[in-house]
Copies of this chain bind each other. A is one copy, B any other.
Amino acid sequence: MSETSAHPVRPAETSDRALRRDAARNRERIIEAAREVFGEQGLDAPIEEVARRAGVGIATLYRRFPTRPDLITCAFAAKMQDYADTTEEALAYDDPWQGFCWYVERLCEMQSGDHGFTEVLTMTFPTARGFEDVRNHTFLRFRELTKRAKRAGRLRKDFSTEDLPLILMANAGVIAAAGAAAPQAWRRVIHVLLQGLERPARGPLPKPPSPEEIMRAMQRR
């Protein structure tokens, strides 16, 4: 109310509030535009395109998001939370193997609709603490999911948690190459993979990459 009446005693606060409101609105618009542009074109999309679509100047954008990772992690914070929630949903399945398979397919589905998220899932952003905390917690919950599926005798014993990023990388390859022409093709590949992960294993596998190797692969930017 005090915002609409031109109260002579506190003009500074009134204009401060308006500025803060403007800033918040700009921020929201930039995040929304980044979500769209990264989703369509991947994480290398031009920042200028984000600014254009948000209707803000490039200087404003850089003031709010000084680096590309700042913008990426803000744009995908909500999706990262969905990703975390997906793990809990999978853990709620009565049949741990069904939960495991549902989870892998669901993650791949999240990748299929969003080029940006496809990349986000196989990368790390060391400077974005909150973002990486969600990822790390989710990873621990995924480890619990694999333990249960192994205890139930359905997931092959030599499955490694490092296999999940490899599956997501493979899925990203199918989506990148076949996405437009055969948008559901990735689903078939994932089902073949899941059947190959079923116990009893049909043979040994080459050893998985180490956690350090996966970490280096995910730090590729």
A: residues with CB less than 8 A from B are 122, 163, 165-167, 169-174, 176-178, 180-182, 184-185, 187-189, 191-198, 201-203, 205-210, 213-217, 220
Contacts and interface: CB of A to CB of B under 8 A. Distances in A.
Contacts of A217: 177-178, 180-182, 185
A interface: dominant SS: helix
Contact of A216 (B166, B181, B187, B207): B181
A173 B169 CA distance: 5
Given A173-B173, A193-B192, A198 B202 contact: yes
5 contacts: A170-B173, A172-B176, A182-B214, A194-B196, A198-B202
Given A163-B192, A178-B213, A182-B209, 7 more contacts: A166-B178, A167-B189, A170-B171, A172-B173, A181-B213, A191-B205, A194-B196
Q: How many copies does the complex hold?
A: 2
Contacts of A220: 177, 180-181
B185 A166 contact: yes
A39 B27 CA distance: 42
Contacts of A172: 173, 176-177
Contact of A173 (B176, B206, B210): B176
B182 A213 contact: yes
A206 B176 CA distance: 19
